[in-house]
């Protein structure tokens, strides 16, 4: 009877209050400052209308728009993709060919299955929101920040103070992008989501990146993102009608 009385007397624990807006903004600003480069082994999965692909890769990214993807096979490096604000290049060691094309979302989608401009892809892989928060608005019923530019709105959803999801919509309300951030781990200077899943409804594409041992904010030489041909390398243009290899 005493035990029953004790249970009856207990009151439910109060709900956890959402993190104050200022704390969330401070955390986002800290991440903007710290997440400048990333180097990691990773498994990238692609699912789309043309099938499913799973590849082990070595990723190196540096803000604002530098990216290097080394796709691995049982025999070593199968393909290298680099991107910057001006150019996207693909080196195929097996054929000793180097293809170059425009730094556009269409080109990066063709060679790496990421339908984003290089600067957008770098932010995605660094687990940063698509756009830095501007004029944020706090919602009482959910921990949400919104930011808008050119009519595009980003909604940032948080869980336990960490960024959990981003939903991007157009000025007309169409869903453009969702990004989920999971498996946060302490990597020394901050908590970092080691699984990032991005869905692009218009392209019917989903990309999932699972990092192994991410290293952040270390110096990376700009030469990392430049592919130079060897003496016998055949250089080609990555034109619209070409059939490029995929990372």
pLDDT 10s digits, 22-75: 788 888 888 999 999 999 999 999 998 888 999 999 999 999 999 999 999 888
Whether 8 is covered by a domain: the verdict is no
Yes or no: say if 195 and 205 are a contact pair by the CB < 8 Å rule: no
Q: Return the percentage of the chain with pLDDT > 70, whole number.
A: 84
Whether 10 is covered by a domain: the verdict is no
* Residue owning tokens 């990004």: 179
Whether 28 is covered by a domain: the verdict is yes
Quote the DSSP letter at residue 116.
Answer: S
Whether 4 is covered by a domain: the verdict is no
Q: What pLDDT score does 138 carry?
A: 64
Q: How confident is the model at residue 20 (pLDDT cuts 50, 70, 90)?
A: low
Mean pLDDT of 168-173: 92
Q: Return the CATH number at 82.
A: 2.50.20.10
Longest dimension (CA), the chain: 88
Whether 244 is covered by a domain: the verdict is no
Domain that holds residue 213: 20-231
Mean pLDDT of 180-195: 94
pLDDT at 241 over 90: no
Nearest CA to 89 out of 115, 64, 70, 62 is that of 70
Q: How confident is the model at residue 177 (pLDDT cuts 50, 70, 90)?
A: very high
Nearest CA to 59 out of 121, 129, 132 is that of 121
Q: How confident is the model at residue 199 (pLDDT cuts 50, 70, 90)?
A: very high
pLDDT at 1 over 70: no
Q: What pLDDT score does 121 carry?
A: 96
pLDDT at 172 over 80: yes
Whether 247 is covered by a domain: the verdict is no
End-to-end CA gap in the chain: 67
pLDDT at 239 over 80: no
pLDDT at 114 over 90: yes
Quote the DSSP letter at residue 106.
Answer: H
Q: What pLDDT score does 19 carry?
A: 60
Q: How confident is the model at residue 160 (pLDDT cuts 50, 70, 90)?
A: confident
Q: What pLDDT score does 8 carry?
A: 40
Q: Return the percentage of the chain with pLDDT > 90, whole number.
A: 64
Q: How confident is the model at residue 9 (pLDDT cuts 50, 70, 90)?
A: very low
Q: How confident is the model at residue 245 (pLDDT cuts 50, 70, 90)?
A: low
pLDDT at 223 over 80: yes
pLDDT at 108 over 90: yes
Whether 11 is covered by a domain: the verdict is no
Whether 195 is covered by a domain: the verdict is yes
Nearest CA to 86 out of 110, 107, 58 is that of 107
> Domain total for the chain?
1
């Amino acid at each position: 009877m005493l035990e029953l009385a004790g249970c009856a007397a207990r009151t439910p624990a109060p709900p956890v209050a959402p993190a104050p807006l200022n704390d969330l903004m401070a955390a986002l600003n800290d991440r903007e400052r710290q997440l400048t480069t990333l180097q990691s082994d990773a498994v990238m999965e692609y699912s789309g209308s043309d099938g499913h692909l799973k590849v082990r890769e070595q990723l190196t990214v540096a803000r604002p728009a530098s990216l290097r993807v080394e796709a691995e096979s049982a025999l070593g490096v199968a393909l290298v993709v680099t991107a910057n604000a001006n150019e996207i290049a693909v080196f195929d060691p097996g054929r000793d060919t180097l293809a170059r094309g425009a730094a556009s979302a269409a080109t990066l989608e063709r060679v790496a299955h990421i339908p984003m401009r290089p600067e957008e892809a770098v932010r995605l892989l660094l687990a940063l929101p698509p756009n830095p928060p501007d004029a944020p608005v706090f919602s009482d019923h959910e921990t949400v920040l919104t930011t808008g530019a050119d009519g595009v709105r980003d909604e940032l959803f948080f869980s336990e103070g960490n960024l959990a999801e981003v939903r991007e919509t157009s000025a007309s309300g169409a869903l453009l992008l969702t990004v989920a951030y999971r498996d946060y781990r302490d990597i020394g200077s901050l908590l970092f989501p080691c699984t990032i899943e991005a869905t692009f409804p218009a392209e019917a594409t989903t990309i999932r990146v699972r990092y192994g041992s991410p290293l952040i904010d270390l110096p990376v030489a700009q030469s990392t993102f430049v592919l130079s041909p060897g003496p016998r390398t055949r250089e080609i243009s990555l034109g619209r009608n070409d059939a490029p290899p995929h990372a």
